[in-house]
Structure 1
Amino acid sequence: MLICQDQRSGYGCGAENPDDAANCQRCGMALRFAVHLQNPGTVVGHYQIVRMIGYGSYGAVYEAQDCRDATRKVALKETFEAAMIVRFQREFDALAHLSHPNLPHYYEVFEADGCGYLVMEFIPGQSLDEILNRQKAPLSEQFLIGYAEQLCDLLTYLHSQHPPVLHRDIKPANIRVTPEGVVKLVDFGLFKQGIQRTRQTLHGLGTLEYMPLEQFDWSGGTDQRSDIYSLGATFYHLLTRRYPISAPKRMTKEKDPLRPPHRLNGHVSRHVSDAIMRAMSRLPLDRYPNAEAFKRDLLGKTQRYIRGAQMRERLVDQGLFIYTLAWHPGGHILASSGEDRMVHLWRPHDGAPLGSLRGHQSKVQALAWHPDEDLLASASADRTIRLWRSTDLSCVTTITGHREPVTCLAWSPDGEVLASGSGDTVYLWAADGTPMSEIHCPERAKVYSLAWRPDGQMLAVGYDDHQIRLWQMAEQLSVFSLQGHTGCVYSLAWSPDGQSLASASADSSLRLWRLANGRLVDELRRHKNWAAKLAWHPDGSGEEQPWLWRVSDTSLCLIVTGHRNYVYCVAWSPDGQVLASCGADSTLRLWRNDGSPISLLMGHSDWVQAVAWSPDGNSLASASLDGSVQLWSMV
């Protein structure tokens, strides 16, 4: 295949032409110096080309199949320049012996027909640049922090090598995210070993907006802090959807003209914004000395000490069962629903009723607030979903088409898709209620739970055939079927970084899955009754019922005892300092994050079905089968 692009000047229309073409079929330009690419099916060395991923004037990247191993797909990096073959060899020699979950594997380097080839692991998925371009808004902070932890850990690993390995071209396009949510840092073409200055480190600069000042001076005088600058610039772009001002332009002003991320995006926490600005300091001495320090500040939390809670309001519905609660993202409205077929809205600060939403013909089993708008979705056993505008209590639309009662609801993180479970089908709806598609379970199992991965690329679904199926939303293909439960899967919860999934089942077990390979990481079977609902610690460490364990190494940290019957629902406070639990003993309990008890909250007269923290963490709501919702204030 000949690409109409002159390798000397870069000019050309970019059209594809047959190998024997003398002139471009589109623009007529002579193809003597055109970019020559391998055709699908061509065998190069031991690898058969599947497709071309991308190309430039000096090389290309292909997806290829290893002819010696039918199970191995590789990325085949090709260079047209003889001088680049030496760089490929240097890159391979430096990286082939490294092993880290966020690095691709390097297999070999070889030459064929005057071109050089670097063979590495093929990374499916999308780059962060592609993900950002797909969205209409910046990435969410929670989404980014999960990836930031992985990238900071990787830089700590690279920079701790002897000599240190520097990437020198960190940017969204060079960070890929697999369908399982694992980050991979790719394209080490500008890497450098150590902090020495050599002529070899001067070939190429990087990408303007992400480069620190010292990388512009052609001296090769970069070190670990240069990568930290580029990583900070990457986070800046992802959280603001704006390219950061280049380092040279920033140096022309006495006062740094770069605006902090929280000034451009009000959803960015101040501590995250401050950490990024320090990482992007104009002078290396003002930056973080290492990636671990950068990570600590990105994850920094304000500590507080809660002594207990006191009941503030008792909100009584109609004396019928209440099944679910949902706080408005802004914290100024609490919604509840249950057996009485209505959705009730309350003003949390004084417990005043704001109104009731009527229209369903049967019990309301699920609620979900839109992440960005005053839009509430309610799901009912009457086989409908209703979308309500909380500002005027109006029903915006009624979604019909379900063949059985609707059991669960979940908005995608970007708020563009509403997923609902009914019978053996997951239905996907646009935010205005327009049907998009249906995902049918081939085994006709019924849907009991839904959970979007934080990046919105995958939907986990729990079924009554005891399995969890993970659906890749771009193609709506089942990626994994997680088997092991022996009862219906009633609840699912992703860790904030999207790498682990917790599941709760009627078999009285909670299971923790790491999805790099879909295997079961940990299982706890000490519950005497059904394990019904899960929550995740905001910093990504898992929890369930009143058992705590570390996601990082799956070791059991401690057992928290106190409830006299099964625990139905647990939830972490937004700052991760307090765990609230409730259950069939009609009580709520507050625990510190080390498992020590804070207080016992009594007031309900029947099972406590749901518990939910306000977004600011100052209030707690509980719902019970006694027909009441209670509000508790932290003291």
Structure 2
Amino acid sequence: MALEKGYILHDRYEIMEVLGQGGMGAVYQARDISLGVLVAVKENLVGDDEDYTRQFKREASILANMRHPNLPRVTDHFTIEGQGQYLVMDFVEGEDLRERLQRVGKMPEKEVVLIGIAICDALNYLHTQDPPVLHRDIKPGNIKITPSGHVHVVDFGLAKVGEVSQQTTTGARGLTPGYSPPEQYGSARTDQRTDIYALGATLYAMLSGKPPEDGLSIAINQTTLTKITDHNPNTSKQLAIVIERALETKPENRFQSAQEFKDALLNASDTISRQVALGAVTIAPPPPGSFKQSTLSDTLSRINPSTTPGPGGLNLPWYAWAGGGIVLMAVIFGIVMMSNRGDSGGADEAPTPTVAATATDGGAVVEEPTPTEEIVEETVPQIAFASDRSGSNQIWLMDIGGSDEDAVQITDMPGGACQPNWSPDGTTLAFISPCDRNREEYSDSTIFTIKADGSELTPLPTRAGDRDPAYSPDGTQIAFTGTRSGLTQIYILDLATGEVTNFSNTSTRTEQPTWSPDGAYIIYVLAGNQLWYREVATGVSGRVSTSDDRDNGQPRFSPAGDRILFLQQSVRTASPPYFQLIFWDAAPSPSGNGLPETKFAPTEALAFRDPAFSADGQWVAFSSNPDGVNHDIYMLSVAGSDLTQITTSGALDFDPAFRP
């Protein structure tokens, strides 16, 4: 039975309406009470089978960690015992291709190619994941065109999640006659070529105004495929050949990868290929009133995203809706993980160019260049941190506003791991290991990198005692603290060459480096208690902090480069450490006494440690133990207000790092 309107699911999601329903569950439009945005919640009713539950958690975690400009992350997932499994995704409003075909009939060839290559980009990314990912339900009803003319791939199907190596029954697969290939009906193996067929069938319908004959019927010789040009004689012969190849009933006769299919679509017409490269075509947006309007625009219009924190203290700019260009949004619960990669081919492709179109009085589409717009992907902010919740200190990743139960363990280092630091593109973490506890020095630690999904663990050419890794803003270097010269100094590792150079090169102890956002300066701790800067290009250095009677450490530049946040503690009293701010307009004189300091936190009651700015610079995460026992992750607004607890596990949580 579907959940009723107004029902609060998982103490967070208010059900607004049922978007789709089947025997295995339903899809709902819901309001995220915590963040104040609309979401799609997919329900899968599989009972209490432990194998299904484990598989669901594993695959949901993989989907949530995928990064691609055309595919958003899954924002939440959870299982309610005795009820079902739930995946929370972006909600996308607009007109789907099924509705558009009913409204306009056949679609212009240029739009068909443009939509086709955009979906190929998304599929190529999915298919080249490790493990690879299948969609298995590409069809016109799962492709939307928004009011601003952008293409989104959505999945409101109810296909079963399963390994490709498993042979699943017909009832366990999402089937749509005309769009599902023959192998999806029986017990045969499905792979990336299954999605190729479904996309080919979708493009066939866009050109022909009707779906192709059923693939299984063709395979057993009960019918034949009608040529596209029989339905639409104006279709170019080369494009028809390309699409009909994707509809071969034998997988080995289709395109073997999404990249190969995309290349063939572009090569089918030199004119279209040139126009796409120049950004000279786009998808015509649906006319007003052609689709059901959601309450999303009204919800957002009531909130000033630049100034108003939502529930839980989060600013809406982190969740801005996509605008400009061609953006593919996947709502992907019916997506399938494959245990074997197969021949997926092709590297990841860049997003499809921005293109424009207007309609003439006669209804024809005339393509025009449009100004490039900024593409803002709607994502839930994530934070990496160190925690001993699994028995030893390891790096974990969780959504801001999510639950501790949904945190994902990234590392599994025998001696523990801590001090995570993100690469600028948010795909990779640098960290140190071993790490037995939260402290300033680690005599035997070295530096590693690892992908956000836990893959590609790589030891860097560092030595015992190296710590405090900090990626440069361009991602080509890592600054760190080391003792290889017998004195604690700051070094820089060139990630391309593996060369390590002594950056500070002084006779005084230097440590804890942080880069300015433009990469021009490194701020560091000198002599254990003073903040200094050093210009990267010239080596010119000078004092930043002014206090001599306090210990200063853990400096962090804000993303805008206009302030430095750091930890300060009196050496004369037993008061807990607190945060100070230094406003940075330009480097102070090398012979000066530093810059004025300003108290950041409104109270010294908390023991502040491990500061980290959010990507938008509006929040500061830190670790603290206000009860004197539990070390958790908290955050404050940059105004020093809206104190919010992020982790509540009761474990030792420290070293937070917002994901870029």
Bin of the TM-score, shorter chain as denominator length: 0.3 to 0.5
Output the TM-score relative to the length of structure 2.
Answer: 0.41
Output the TM-score relative to the length of structure 1.
Answer: 0.42
